[in-house]
Chain A
Amino acid sequence: MLGFIKIFLQGLLYVVLLPLIILVLALYAAYCIIIFIYMAIRSVIVFFMGGTPLGDLPEDVEAKRILMEREQVKNQDPTQTLANAIAQSSMQIAQNMYAQQGAPEVVPTETTNEDTYENTIEEMDDGNSY
């Protein structure tokens, strides 16, 4: 009975608000027609300029790339990851050994090209460059 009364009252509300609902729908319909015409003109222009009219937005492309990279990292072979870790630690040990023997420090791989260039120039100035 309570459900019936609830539906009845909702119906009453919808009937009272019907003119307003129709007005909002009509306004949105007019807005949507304008958007449709704008999108149609835009799509034609983009098509004749050689683009894809309704392709992905730049944000979508970027998001897909990031998510794909994450997926690749997640699905990476664990043995390969272990091999990479061993290779990295071997490199670290070798660097430490050279440093103890007084050999020039190996330029870290994490540095950018610009940093590497600046380090090289400094080493050349000191006369330690090979």
Chain B
Amino acid sequence: MVTLIKLTENDKRLIIVLLLLVILLFVVAGYIGVLVRKIMRFQGSKADDMLHDVVEAGVITSERKLLLFGIRKNWRVLFKHAWIPFLIMLTALTIYLLNCLFTKNWSYNIWDYEKTGFNTLFFVHDWSVFYKSSAEGFTITWPKLVSTPHFSGEAWVSYIFVPAMTVGGAWFVFEVQGYIARAYRIYVLSKKAFRKTMENVTPPSSPINPE
């Protein structure tokens, strides 16, 4: 029997650890997916509130009209929910652009770790030396520390811009997810609301035209 790869005891342990990590990753992804679906179901239930009265009162009587009405309502709900994150992002962008305009520095780096960027607040490592492979195998060395956290006066724009854009962006994405959830629910409801079903129909005991 030809042996292509010879695994040492250490390699086997490493492979088992990696396998467990991959399984853990998939399980965590599964739970995140379940959580996202639950949140979307909750967000989609808003569509029921939006459409209930018009169907109950008989104002809308067809599938297509209900769908169009639902889309219009969904736009309004999106606007009402998303204006705060939009305003946060717009303010951050305005501050950034005004700073660039007044300092006449259009190459302002918000990720710089020395003077102007948000990374001045974090430990920064040089990851280029982390993994090295050679004929003998591969070696792992702890990356070199490049910068330690410190405040920099020149980075004040980054300190506003990055958190504001992150919060506003995440909030906006959450609202987009809500929009998708409501749009899907509106589509489902418009298909269901006016559909005739034979589930609870029983034929009359004495038919008019007996065969």
Contact = CB atoms under 8 A, between A and B. Distances in A.
A25 to B, nearest CB: 7
Contacts of B34: 7, 10
B115 interface: no
Contacts of A47: none
A54 B79 contact: yes
Contact of A35 (B53, B56, B78): B78
A98 interface: no
B204 interface: no
B196 to A, nearest CB: 23
A38 B60 CA distance: 25
Interface residues on B, range: 35 or more
Contacts of A62: 54, 57, 59
B96 interface: no
B28 interface: yes
B23 to A, nearest CB: 7
Q: Is the interface of A mostly helix, strand, loop or mixed?
A: helix
Given A10-B33, A60-B54, A35 B176 contact: no
A130 B115 CA distance: 102
Interface string B23-44: 1011111111110000000000
A67 B25 contact: no
A15 interface: yes
A54 B76 contact: yes
B151 interface: no
A11 B28 contact: yes
B1 to A, nearest CB: 33
Contacts of B32: 11, 14
B75 interface: yes
A11 B27 contact: yes
Contacts of A7: 27, 30-31, 34
B176 A36 contact: no
Interface of B: 23, 25-34, 53-54, 56-60, 69, 72-73, 75-76, 78-80, 82-83, 86, 172-173, 175-177, 179-180
Given A25-B180, A32-B78, A39-B75, 17 more contacts: A7-B27, A7-B34, A8-B26, A11-B31, A12-B26, A12-B30, A14-B33, A15-B26, A25-B173, A28-B176, A29-B176, A36-B79, A36-B82, A40-B79, A54-B79, A57-B69, A64-B53
